[in-house]
Amino acid sequence: MSFHSDLIILGGGCAGLSLGMNLSKFGEHTPKTTILEGRTHYTNDRTWCFWGGFGSDSEEFVTHRWESFSITTSKARVTRHCKETPYLMVSSQDFYQTAQRLISESPRIDLKRGNLITGEIFKRKGLWHVSTPLGEYSAPWIVDTRPGSSPLVHSSPASNPMLWQSFLGEEITTEGDLFDPGCVELMDFSGSLPETILFLYVLPFSKREALVEATVFGPRPLSAEELAEPLKSLTKNRLQGLHALSGRSEHGILPMGTMRNTGQMKQPAEDLGNDPSYVHAGLMAGGARPSSGYAFQRIWKWSQACAMALATGKPPRPHPHDHPLTRAMDALFLRVLSSNQELAPDLFLSLFAKVKPARVARFMNDQGTLSDCAAIMASLPPTPFLLELATAAGLPLGKRKSHVP
C-alpha cells in the first residue's frame, strides 16, 4: 500500500503529538498529515513537570500543581512559595488520550500506530519516501521526532559541556502520613553516588502518595538497573521507617548540554545541503533546555510555531536557537557542575534560597530578563565560576577534575 500526504511526522510521542494537535487547530488549512508511530498503544510512561504561570495553553493538560517547593542538603532545608509561577504536572496518560482524540477529530491528520520505520528514508523528485512494514509513505515535508535519529552535534567539545540526567521513579503509597501535598521536594541531596550528582525528587499527590525519583547528573547515561539501588536507598531514608507499597515506575535519560541543533537534514547523496523540507525535532534535537533537560514546554512552544508555518504553506521549522546569554550561562553552569560535583547541593540551595522563584522560573522557561540572569549569577559562589571562566580562557589556575567529554 502507498500513501501520499503533505507532511509526514516520524514518531508520535510528545513532539509528534504536540505538532499534530496544534496542526489540527487550522481546520481546512491543516496540511494533510500522516504521523507514523512505532507503538501500538500508549501507556502512562512519563510524568512531565514544568514551571507554569506564563499563559501557555499547554497548561490545559495540567493535572496537578504545587505552590511551594523545597531544596534539602545535609546542612539546610529551604522552602519557597511559588504561587505566581507554580510547579505543574502533566500525566502522559491524559496527554496521549487528549492528543489521540483531537487528532482523530481532524479529517486531515492520520495517526498510524504500530508503524515502526525500519527502511531507508530518501528523496526523489521533490518527495520524501518512508517505508514501514505497513506501507510506503511519501510527502514533500518531513518532521522527524525519533530520538535516535537526531544529529546531536557538538560544535566544540571544550565549549559545549555535556552531562546526562538519568532518573528512575516509582509511585509509592505509604502506610502513614508523610508528605506535604502542597510542596514539591525538588532536590533532596541526602545520598551520594561516586563521580555524579545524586538527589531525590518527590512529587507528592497526597499525604500518603507520591512519585519518588532518584535523579543523577553524570558523565554517562544510567540504566534503570543502575538506578535501582540509589532509588531504594534514598526512598528508605525519606520514608523515615514507614512502610510503603510500590506502584508504576518510570525511567528517563535526558541530555544536558549545549548541543548545536542542526535541525535540518543533510543530504550528501543529492548534494542538497541542509534541506529545509526535512526537520529534526524533539528531545534530542534542541527540545531539551541545556541546563535542566526540561523539554515539555519547549516542545509545545516549538510545535505551535511549526504548525503555524506549515499551515501557511511554509516549510517545517526546527527548534529555535537559544539566546546567546542563556546559552553561555547554561554552558558555564554545566561546566562548573561537571568539575565540582561536591558543590552541587550548596549551589542549588544558594540559587533557590536567594533568587525569587519567579525569576528562576522565567529563566528556566527561556523567558529570563537581564536582571533575572544577573540575580541568578549573583546568588552563586563566585570562585568556582571564575575558575571555570579562567580555565575556558586558557589561564592555568589550578587542576580541574573535568568530566567534560
Ligand X SMILES: Cc1cc2nc3c(=O)[nH]c(=O)nc-3n(C[C@H](O)[C@H](O)[C@H](O)COP(=O)(O)OP(=O)(O)OC[C@H]3O[C@@H](n4cnc5c(N)ncnc54)[C@H](O)[C@@H]3O)c2cc1C
Query: Which spans of this chain sit near ligand X (rule: CB under 6 A)?
Result: 11-16, 36-39, 46-50, 116-117, 145-147, 250, 252, 254, 282-283, 287, 294-296, 299
**Which lies closer to ligand X via its Cβ, residue 205 or residue 377?**
205
| Shortest Cβ 391–ligand X spacing (Å) | 30
**Which lies closer to ligand X via its Cβ, residue 53 or residue 147?**
147
| Shortest Cβ 400–ligand X spacing (Å) | 30
Q: Where are the alpha helices (DSSP H) in 77-158?
A: 92-105
Q: How much is the CA Rg of the chain, to the nearest whole Å? A: 22
Chain position whose Cβ is nearest to ligand X: 13
Helix (H, G, I), strand (E, B) or coil at 233: helix
CA distance 239 to 250: 20
**Which lies closer to ligand X via its Cβ, residue 282 or residue 384?**
282
| Shortest Cβ 24–ligand X spacing (Å) | 17
| Shortest Cβ 395–ligand X spacing (Å) | 36
Contact 134, 114 (CB under 8 A): yes
- Render the burial of 53-71: b for 16+ CB within 10 Å, e for the rest: bbeeebbebbebbbbbbbb
| Shortest Cβ 281–ligand X spacing (Å) | 7
**Which lies closer to ligand X via its Cβ, residue 10 or residue 355?**
10
| Shortest Cβ 75–ligand X spacing (Å) | 27
**Which lies closer to ligand X via its Cβ, residue 46 or residue 317?**
46
**Which lies closer to ligand X via its Cβ, residue 87 or residue 385?**
87
At residue 358, what is the residue type? A
- Residues in contact with 332: Cβ distance below 8 Å, sequence separation at least 6, in sequence order: 385, 388, 389
Contact 196, 81 (CB under 8 A): no
**Which lies closer to ligand X via its Cβ, residue 50 or residue 385?**
50
Residue entry with cell 541546563: 291
| Shortest Cβ 151–ligand X spacing (Å) | 14
* Cα-based torsion angle of the residue sequence 192, 193, 198, 202 in order, rounded to the nearest 10 degrees: -70
Q: Which of 94, 86, 51, 96 is nearest to 362 (CA)?
A: 51
**Which lies closer to ligand X via its Cβ, residue 251 or residue 335?**
251
Q: Which of 298, 287, 386 is nearest to 335 (CA)?
A: 386
**Which lies closer to ligand X via its Cβ, residue 217 or residue 294?**
294
| Shortest Cβ 314–ligand X spacing (Å) | 22
Q: Which of 51, 70, 4, 6 is nearest to 33 (CA)?
A: 6
| Shortest Cβ 313–ligand X spacing (Å) | 25
- Render the burial of 106-128: b for 16+ CB within 10 Å, e for the rest: bebbbbbbebebeeebebeeeeb
